[in-house]
Amino acid sequence: MLNAHSCDVMNDVRRQAYERFKTLGFPTRKEERYKYTDMQALFAPNYGLNLKRLPIPVNPYDAFRCDVPNLSTLLYFVVNDDPYSPARNADTAGRNALKARPNTGEAARSADEERQLGGPIGKDGGAVNAGRLLPEGVVIGSLRELLPRLPADVARYYNQLAGADNDGVTSLNTMLTQDGLLVYVPRNTVVERCVQVINILRADVDLMVNRRVLIVMEPGAEAKLLFCDHTADDHRFLATQVIEAFVGQGARLDLYCMEETHAKNVRVSNVYIRQEADSSVCHNVLTLHNGITRNKLDLQLMGQGAECSCNGCVIADKQQHVDNNTLITHHATHCTSQELYKYVLDEQATGAFAGRVLVEQGAQKTESKMTNQNLCATREARMYTQPMLEIYADDVKCAHGSTVGQLNAAALFYMQQRGITLREARLLLQNAFINEVVDKLQLEPLRDRLHYLVEKRFKGELNKCEGCKLCK
């Protein structure tokens, strides 16, 4: 059944992943990279799987808009773990879902304007060049539909990074995934508009989904990708996600991953990135609302002059748990990496950060800086932090640091003396603390939007996205 609803490229590695998962099993706390999150407990409940790929009755184009004012994006949807196809979902989603539309952050366009612009998804449900919206040669759409039709040198990238990692969750994802999202940008091609992918979790039962993303950036290519995770139903969801990104020589990739789900959601995301010479990657993970989240990033700097910037922003309260684990490996000379992760934990929330920078022998002239700063707003909040450097070269500039603290009592007292209430003073300090990460985002409209969302989150007002008709 898994094979019947997938393609040969994905099926060819399914049996191997199954055998590996039988050997590895679910990670335990005895494994260094998983000691802060009990993975076996997360997978213990009984979840359903949509193995027959039954269409989900949702029309995301009418029911859901995740607008970022003044940011013009190419809008795509993934419903659970299936790239949304208007043709396949026409009976349940309605005829007016037959065309995707660009998200302009403005009022909806007229029907005539939409027909002139085209959209990222064609009438047959397959990916197209979207008329004027996508540059020639750029392909975005279903892995299952596109990989068999693309040249073999594109298909060979699938599972190349994930398959080399002895990770039980990654093996499980490879074993069960039936489709995914492909982003392919050919040589020296620049995608001016940000590609926005909205992952919607929807079901009438507790459901496990297994998302897959393959990003191939050929030499000199440039693209910006924004992934937004949302839940549309009040059920338990367990989402595994594996992202593989290949960034060619001189290419540039900006990758933003933002989570706004609910307390019953479990998200386990493993991201694998390989960079060639003189390439640039900016990876940003933003957790604003969640239940239990475990993010893993493995990034390899393979070519001379490659650089990466990795930023994380976490706001958690109640019983929420967020665990970020990173590994940046410097294989080549003159490479640069920077990491900044900040947490604000309230009530009984738990946070964890384990970052490791590995400088291989011969990777001279490496520059690396890792910073993890954390704010526990209550005495019950808990933060676990473990920054690490492992260096086998002797001509490097590497530094790491970590802090855990509470709100400054003197600053709170000072602000109250000037007529600011205690609650407002706490909000101002928390905003100032977390905004250092938000200010590093390259997309100015997204940066402005996140300043607004962060403020609402601290005020306890961020319970759904503006314009969303799915959340009750």
The 10s digit of each residue's pLDDT in 45-77 is 999 999 998 887 776 665 455 666 667 788 899
More reliable by pLDDT, 450 or 342: 342
CA distance 215 to 175: 20
Beta pairing class for 252-260 and 280-289: parallel
At residue 462, the pLDDT reads: 60
Q: What is the DSSP letter of 13?
A: T
Instruction: Tell me how far CA of residue 351 lies from CA of 259, 299, 397, 437, 470, in angstroms.
Output: 15, 22, 28, 17, 29
Tokens 């640069």, residue located = 336
Quick check: 385 and 404 in contact, CB under 8 A? yes
CA distance 334 to 304: 6
CA distance 33 to 326: 9
Instruction: Examine the pLDDT at 256 and tell me if it is beyond 90.
Output: yes
At residue 134, the pLDDT reads: 87
Give which of 229, 220, 223, 278 is closest to 254, Cα–Cα. Answer: 223
Tokens 């997938």, residue located = 6
* Tokens at 120, concatenated: 């990222």
Instruction: Examine the pLDDT at 296 and tell me if it is beyond 90.
Output: yes
196-244 pLDDT, tens digit each: 999 999 888 999 999 999 999 999 999 999 999 988 888 999 999 999 9
Backbone angles phi, psi at 112, to 5 degrees: -65, -40
CA distance 225 to 469: 24
CB neighbours (10 Å) of residue 103?
A: 22
Going from N- to C-terminal start, the domains of the chain cover: 8-303, 409-472
CA distance 311 to 450: 14
Give which of 253, 248, 297, 255 is closest to 276, Cα–Cα. Answer: 248
Which residues have C-beta within 8 Å of that of residue 299, sequence separation ≥ 6? 272, 273, 274, 275, 281, 283, 308, 310, 326, 327, 328, 329, 337
At residue 128, the pLDDT reads: 34
At residue 245, the pLDDT reads: 98
Backbone angles phi, psi at 55, to 5 degrees: -65, 140
Tokens 């398959």, residue located = 163
393-438 pLDDT, tens digit each: 999 999 999 999 988 889 888 889 888 888 888 888 888 899 999 9
Q: Which helix (H) or strand (E) holds 76?
A: strand 73-79
